[in-house]
Amino acid sequence: MMKVAWFPSLMLVLGCSAPAVEPLPGDHPAEVAAYWYIDQPMHALYEATIYRFHPDGRLDAVDAWPDGYRTGHVGTLDLSIACEFSGPWESDGDTTLTVGMRCSDGRDRELLLHFPDGFDACAGGTGCFPLVRSVDGDTENWTRHGFEWMWTRCADEADCLARLHLWSGG
């Protein structure tokens, strides 16, 4: 489906050409457009963040334990640059996710994640463990630092909050 906005009289007055015809984005599938609980279950000091991946590509951190902690981060192997999820996001299939990140050097970058068993394997209580494939196309110098992360697609926001409250006591 395409949208075109026509303002013929305004274009005649201003001498403007017709706007470009742009396809509506179709790369925000329902398998990803959801609430996600991303935690670090292999860490004794446990951290988790709830993210909302909006259907239009926006991304928000909803809540976390401890308060303000962000599990959505990667960095360079030499620890010189750290990046945190900031959005937007997109997906072109059932195993690949691209997430926009804001980095400590002031640059925005794109993280490419691979979900080996697909997004559906992340639903419910099992969760999944995506792999960092690249950052801005660089496949060698970036990693997920710290403890392994597990991604669980929640049924809804209440489901994610209930998971978080098991740890936070809230």
pLDDT tens digits, 56-66: 999 999 999 99
42 domain-assigned: yes
15 domain-assigned: no
86 domain-assigned: yes
Count of structural domains within the chain: 1
73 domain-assigned: yes
52 domain-assigned: yes
13 domain-assigned: no
Confidence of residue 170 (pLDDT cuts 50, 70, 90): low
Q: What is the DSSP letter of 148?
A: P
| Diameter over CA atoms, the chain | 67
Q: What does the pLDDT read at residue 92?
A: 83
Domain membership of residue 72 as a residue range: 26-168
In this prediction the pTM is 0.81
124 domain-assigned: yes
Burial class of residue 10 in the structure, from the number of CB atoms within 10 Å of its CB (0-12 exposed, 13-18 middle, 19+ buried): exposed
Closest CA to 72 of 45, 105, 47: 47
**pLDDT (tens digit per residue) in 117-158:** 999 999 977 799 999 999 999 999 999 988 899 999 999 999
